[in-house]
């Protein structure tokens, strides 16, 4: 990798911050998975360009017409089944293995952090690898073999829904409470691939900053975080900046 374009001062400061903590966390958004071939839902080629979220991604829509809603989720599941983690996902897993990052909080539903080897992953909006029955809470893996039959049915007779947070649903209490606790108590927080527009997840860096954490932001462009709470800004693709950050942390530990 050509590292000449990296800002050495920023990367070295970030490496020192991580090397000196066993209490770091990371918060990730859609930008970290774009390099795996998953378009941001809000991008020109994203899911919302083909499916109006008010018709396909709300709990009311699911309850009104589950077969219609499942048309979109089957398409998404079909897209995700061949997607692999990229170097940014593996870099965060490596930082956890090294003991510097103890949890990843993600807004993504693609499960790529877990597939990359991260052990402690807080999925703010759920996981599209599984389905859940709203009636009895039974869960099972996503099954594309039943696609032609429409919305999958649960053994209890109800309709299964993707195990994700639809518009109109609340963030699971465990994810909400655990994320807030981790953010308030961390020494270093790494923000990756999120534009700081979706709340309540976007509030977490502010909570971390209030607690005295060093905030490292890895994004291709500046965001609302940059001038408000960011201490160190690593500009570029996550698949390039995070592996470079890991490299510098490893070298410093030699």
Residues 187 and 253 in one domain: yes
Query: What pLDDT sits at residue 2?
Result: 44
pLDDT attached to residue 225: 93
CATH number of the domain within which 179 lies = 3.40.50.1220
Would you state the pLDDT for residue 51? 84
Domain identity same for 63 and 117: no
The pLDDT score that the predictor gives to residue 201 is 86
The confidence score (pLDDT) of residue 3 equals 43
CA gap 177, 200 in Å, rounded: 11
The yes-or-no answer on residue 89 being catalytic is no
Residue 251 belongs to domain spanning: 1-38+84-125+170-254
Supply the pLDDT for residue 227: 93
C-alpha torsion angle, residues 230, 232, 233, 239 (rounded to 10):
-120
At 4 the pLDDT is 42
Kindly state whether residues 24 and 49 are assigned to the same domain. no
Looking at residue 49, its pLDDT comes to 74
pLDDT, position 1: 42
10-residue stretch averages of pLDDT, the chain, 254 residues long? 68 96 95 87 68 89 94 87 94 97 96 96 93 94 87 94 91 94 97 85 94 96 93 96 96 67
Q: Specify the pLDDT at position 254.
A: 53
What CATH number does the domain containing 138 carry? 3.30.1600.10
Could you say which of 89, 100, 113, 125 is catalytic?
A: 125
Q: How many structural domains compose the chain?
A: 2
- For residues 48 and 158, membership in a common domain is answered with yes
Same domain, yes or no: 23 and 46: no
Whether 141 and 230 map to the same domain: the answer is no
């Amino acid at each position: 990798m050509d590292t000449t374009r990296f800002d050495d001062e920023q990367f070295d400061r970030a490496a020192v911050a991580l090397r000196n903590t066993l209490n770091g966390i990371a918060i990730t958004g859609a930008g970290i998975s774009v390099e795996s071939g998953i378009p941001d839902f809000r991008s020109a080629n994203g899911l919302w360009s083909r499916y109006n979220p008010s018709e396909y991604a709300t709990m009311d829509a699911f309850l009104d017409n589950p077969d219609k809603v499942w048309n979109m989720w089957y398409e998404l599941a079909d897209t995700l089944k061949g997607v692999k983690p990229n170097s940014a996902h593996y870099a965060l897993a490596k930082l956890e293995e090294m003991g510097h990052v103890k949890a990843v909080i993600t807004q993504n539903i693609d499960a790529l952090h877990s597939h990359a080897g991260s052990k402690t992953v807080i999925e703010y909006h759920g996981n599209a690898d599984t389905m859940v029955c709203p009636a009895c809470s039974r869960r099972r893996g996503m099954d594309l073999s039943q696609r032609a039959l429409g919305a999958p049915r649960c053994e209890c007779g109800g309709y299964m829904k993707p195990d994700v947070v639809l518009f109109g649903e609340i963030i699971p209490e465990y994810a909400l409470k655990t994320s807030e606790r981790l953010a308030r108590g961390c020494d270093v927080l790494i923000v990756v691939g999120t534009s700081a527009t979706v709340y309540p997840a976007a509030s977490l860096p502010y909570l971390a900053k209030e607690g005295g954490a060093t905030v490292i932001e890895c994004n291709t462009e500046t965001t609302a975080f940059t001038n408000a709470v960011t201490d160190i800004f690593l500009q570029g693709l996550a698949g390039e900046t995070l592996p470079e950050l890991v490299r510098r942390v490893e070298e410093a530990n030699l």
